[in-house]
Amino acid sequence: MMTTLPTDPAANLATLIRCQSVTPTEGGALTSLAEMLNPLGFAVDRQTFSEEGTPDVENLYARLSGNGPHLMFAGHTDVVPVGDEAAWTHPPFSAEIADGMMYGRGAVDMKGGIACFVAAVARHVEQNGPLKGSVSLLITGDEEGPAINGTVKLLEWAAARGEKWDAAIVGEPTNPETLGDMIKIGRRGSISGRLIVHGRQGHAAYPHLADNPVPGIVTLVDALLHPALDEGTAEFQATNLEVTTLDVGNPAVNVIPARAEAAFNIRFNDSWSAENLQAEIEKRLEKAAGSTRLRQGRSEPIVYELIWTGRPSPVFLTRSEKLIEHMGAAVEAITGRRAALSTSGGSSDARFIKDYCPVVEFGLVGKTMHMVDERVALDDLETLTRIYQRFLQDWFV
């Protein structure tokens, strides 16, 4: 009996959307993906990684081996929660189609990219026979989560087994408006911190008996924001520091709070490393806290704590002209558009892959990712599949 190959990206995507793989739950998505890859001859490994204080995460590594270059496709099958399910026009795990659009959580971020790449490989094998090289899929269930038990450990596991890659594509939704708009060739770095100013609680009518931390936190936040950290570089937009919370946890208008907190995130360009940017922030705060606060007519230092939170993400830029040119040529051949090369946006798992091989990101239009009624045009699924197929055809020559 002839085995049906997974050449239809819409059918592939519908299967994946119907798997309720809200991070960190596998939800059947990796099992479904393995079932698509087996008829193509992929050797599939499933690896679950653990770390204290984090959920266990199951991941998938699949390889179709051949003689020649080794291309990695990387992505994730985990998705963010659906939010208010009643607000969805179509059930979020139904993969229903209406007016040429497929609805479902993960449709563009990023089960759609995986579905298209699998279809592209299947079409190539069906039409041309075996690839003149090796293709691997490195798929995590932890991209939308803490990113601890996913891509980082899966890369380490594969490399320890002797796996080496010549190039990688990450199938995240990179296009802002139309398929063919943008190829990501790097990402800004990211660091986050929390600032706490300590005071003393008291009655608002008797400020001399209390110590209000609010003026102090305002002073320190202003020092973080001004002056601007830089004006951008040739390859990257300007570094931006965003204050994301400012809170005293105080429901009473007649009580001076005991402490005030602010959280912030910085997306930085190649003017900085995480280390020297942290040093700059610490210097600004130390200077601003030194003698700027007047309390009962006296100048006093602001008492504060700075806590760096999470793991810094490094800034990176892909230097492989061959990889960039091949992806750009494939996009232009299928869409007629010359994609802009960009380093904009947030972070992705490309920040881990760049330590092993050159990497670019190209996927669907991301306008509805993480939103209610996340959806993808069926025409875009077909177009992206053809782009990936053209890339495979030209890469493996």
SS (H, E, C) 112-161: HHHHHHHHHHHHHHHHHCCCCCEEEEEEECCCCCCCCCCHHHHHHHHHHC
C-alpha to C-alpha distance for 126 and 15, rounded to whole angstroms: 21
In the chain, residues under CATH classification 3.40.630.10 are 9-187+315-395
Query: Is 208 within any annotated ligand binding site?
Result: no
Query: Is 370 within any annotated ligand binding site?
Result: yes
Please classify residue 73 by burial: count the beta carbons closer than 10 Å to its beta carbon, then call 0-12 exposed, 13-18 middle and 19+ buried: buried
Query: Is 355 within any annotated ligand binding site?
Result: no
Predicted pLDDT at 293: 56
Predicted pLDDT at 295: 57
Indicate the helix (H) or strand (E) that contains 262. Answer: strand 259-268
Please classify residue 50 by burial: count the beta carbons closer than 10 Å to its beta carbon, then call 0-12 exposed, 13-18 middle and 19+ buried: exposed
The three-class DSSP label of residue 2 is coil
Among candidates 302, 236, 237, 312, which has minimal Cα distance to 276?
A: 312
Predicted pLDDT at 91: 97
Predicted pLDDT at 294: 55
Fold held by 9-187+315-395: Aminopeptidase (3.40.630)
What Rg, from alpha-carbon coordinates, does the chain have?
25
Predicted pLDDT at 165: 98
35: β partners: none
**Contacts with 5 (C-beta within 8 Å, 6 or more apart), sequence order:** 39, 40, 122, 125, 126
Predicted pLDDT at 310: 85
Q: Which amino acids are annotated catalytic?
A: 78, 143
Tens-binned pLDDT, residue by residue, of the chain (397 aa): 347 899 999 999 999 999 999 999 999 999 999 999 999 999 999 999 999 999 999 999 999 998 899 999 999 999 999 999 999 999 999 999 999 999 999 999 999 999 999 999 999 999 999 889 999 999 999 999 888 999 999 999 999 999 999 999 999 999 999 999 999 999 999 999 999 999 999 999 999 899 999 999 999 999 999 999 999 999 999 999 999 999 999 989 999 999 999 999 999 999 999 999 999 999 999 999 986 555 555 578 899 999 999 889 889 998 899 999 999 999 999 999 999 999 988 888 999 999 999 999 999 999 999 999 999 999 999 999 999 999 999 999 8
Query: Is 172 within any annotated ligand binding site?
Result: yes
Is residue 301 within 8 Å of 288, Cβ to Cβ? no
In the chain, residues under CATH classification 3.30.70.360 are 192-313
C-alpha to C-alpha distance for 76 and 64, rounded to whole angstroms: 19
- For residue 105, which amino acid is it? R
Query: Is 222 within any annotated ligand binding site?
Result: no
Fold held by 192-313: Alpha-Beta Plaits (3.30.70)
Predicted pLDDT at 230: 96
Looking at the chain, the number of H-run helices and the number of E-run strands are 9, 21
Find the Cα–Cα–Cα–Cα dihedral 104, 35, 171, 160, rounded to 10°.
140
Predicted pLDDT at 93: 98
Pull the structure tokens for residue 332: 């232009």
